[in-house]
Amino acid sequence: MTIIRRTILEHLKIENGILYFDDVALLDIAEKYTTPVVVFSESRIRENARDVLIAFKKYYNRSYVYYALKANSILSIVKIIREEGLGCEVASYGEIIKALKAGCRLEDIIFNGPGKTVKELENAIKLGIHSINIDSLYELELVNNIAERIGTRIGVSLRVVPEVVSPILRTGISSSKFGFERNEIIKAYKRALNLSNIEIKGIHAHIGSQISNINTWIHASKVLVDIINEIHRELNLKLEHINIGGGLPVDYTKSPISANLEVPEYFKPTFDEEDVARILAESLKDLKYEIDLYIEPGRRIVADAGILLTQVVNYKERSFGEKWLIIDAGFNVLPSARILQWYYPIINLSKISEKHDAPFRVGGPLCDAHDVYHDLDGEERGEPRLPKYRFLPRSTGPGDILAILHVGAYGPEVMMNFNGMLRPPVVMISNKYVKIIRKGDKVEDLIAYEEIS
């Protein structure tokens, strides 16, 4: 099976001083829809989905890929991903409804999360989804009782924390809020075997996001294989699948304009999903029996397919020479820039042919000191996770349109109305045609769900 890989840079080209995204001028989109606006590439989403699916099938034919809707659950995007053969991993009943609306089949839905409500579980069980990832002994009993009351059986996998540390978003260790500890997992499976309305499907783990250290994948897979073999040895139980969760990394440094900025290593991984698939396939050779492999990528599928267009609305220069650009998109549009100190490349579309060599501080429009695209707290500690300056053309100023790259994951999904800001529209380029896939807010939307008592 041959994988012909294209990078996001092959979707971006500069001609006559204009940057094109899938052959559409981004400046034209900014003019038509105003800023801020998020632009997606349908072809890039399809490529990413195919690359992951093909890579895992290549090294382990019994592989199944479930897209994590939490990364981006816009219906048009989920529909495209589903058309490429991926299932859906959801974290709420709301995401189940969106998955179904986008064309995902019930038998291709996995329900994950540490705080599923009784109502959510009832709905999921009545629908008959493929599997629920169980997070605790309490939830195991709860799911069995609900299924018994409904008069059915439900497939489950038990989520274990393999005590594997990821550089960021550490969800695979016992100090997190997720899953069973290693020393209680056998007890949990033994209990599940005695519950008449539970159908044991597999084992689940999720060790983090943007896992850019290959040794983390190696360690996690070996731990899970050991647990599966122990379950078989102690309980004579064969699982149907191993679910390794998500975490496939994305290179956030790729840009048509070279920046040479110092960013943490986890933003520029040195391997891809082929390497992960090969490692997992090798680890699974140590199992005592054959098993299906599930993986739940989100970020890897949509991150680099999205670009945020924003306008410079203010400029100032401090007495000590520091230059500031204020843009119309802050953490109301990209919360992870503040919450996680996430790095996104920034380039000037209005002056794309000019050298990007002048240092600027870049901030958003919100009345909040941390609405910036650098790491204020880290700078005070002497350990910044983001570059202090962004390099743009020296003449950059109000009116210029900037592009912030790789915003497709955990961008549109977590926008907010802080400071009374309107959430921007989201559009998609499909065969050179631009269409709205999520409308932007109107001022009336800010008060539509409120009442004065």
Q: Which of 52-66, 260-274, 342-356 has the lowest mean pLDDT?
A: 260-274
Tell me if 295 sits within 8 A of 65, measured CB to CB: yes
Please report which confidence band the pLDDT of residue 259 belongs to, taking 50, 70 and 90 as the band edges: confident
Mean pLDDT of the chain: 94
Sign of CA dihedral 187, 189, 194, 195: positive
The pLDDT of residue 307: 98
Cα 95 from chain centre: 14
pLDDT of 168 strictly over 80: no
The pLDDT of residue 1: 46
Please report which confidence band the pLDDT of residue 161 belongs to, taking 50, 70 and 90 as the band edges: confident
414 Cβ contact partners less than 8 Å away, ≥ 6 residues apart = 335, 336
Please report which confidence band the pLDDT of residue 165 belongs to, taking 50, 70 and 90 as the band edges: low
Q: Which of 280-284, 308-312, 335-339, 401-405 has the lowest mean pLDDT?
A: 335-339
303 Cβ contact partners less than 8 Å away, ≥ 6 residues apart = 71, 250, 252, 406, 407, 408, 409
> What digits encode the pLDDT tens for the residues 190-231?
999 999 999 999 999 988 889 998 999 999 999 999 999 999
Tell me if 257 sits within 8 A of 354, measured CB to CB: no
Overall average pLDDT of the 34-54 stretch: 97
Q: What percent of the chain has pLDDT over 90?
A: 88
The pLDDT of residue 166: 60
Long-range contacts of residues 375-380, Cβ cutoff 8 Å, at least 24 apart: 375/341, 378/341
pLDDT of 2 strictly over 60: no
Tell me if 228 sits within 8 A of 292, measured CB to CB: no
Overall average pLDDT of the 154-162 stretch: 93
Of these ranges, 2-11, 98-107, 203-212, the one predicted with the greatest mean pLDDT is 98-107
Overall average pLDDT of the 428-432 stretch: 97
Q: What is the three-class DSSP state of 429?
A: strand
Cα 221 from chain centre: 21
> What digits encode the pLDDT tens for the residues 116-126?
999 999 999 99
Overall average pLDDT of the 148-162 stretch: 95
pLDDT of 95 strictly over 90: yes
Distance CA 421, CA 406 (A): 22
Q: Which of 11-25, 173-187, 281-295, 331-345 has the lowest mean pLDDT?
A: 173-187
The pLDDT of residue 177: 65
Distance CA 160, CA 206 (A): 8
What domains can be seen in the chain, in order of their start residue?
A: 43-300 (3.20.20.10), 304-446 (2.40.37.10)
pLDDT of 258 strictly over 90: no
Overall average pLDDT of the 416-440 stretch: 97
Overall average pLDDT of the 235-250 stretch: 96
Beta strands in 259-329, from DSSP E residues, in sequence order = 292-295, 306-317, 323-327
Overall average pLDDT of the 249-277 stretch: 91
pLDDT of 170 strictly over 60: no
Distance CA 357, CA 442 (A): 38
Cα 110 from chain centre: 16
Nearest-5° Cα angle at 396, 392 to 402: 70
Burial of 15 (0-12, 13-18, 19+ CB in 10 A): exposed
> What digits encode the pLDDT tens for the residues 385-394?
999 999 999 9
pTM: 0.95
Please report which confidence band the pLDDT of residue 176 belongs to, taking 50, 70 and 90 as the band edges: low
Tell me if 39 sits within 8 A of 307, measured CB to CB: yes
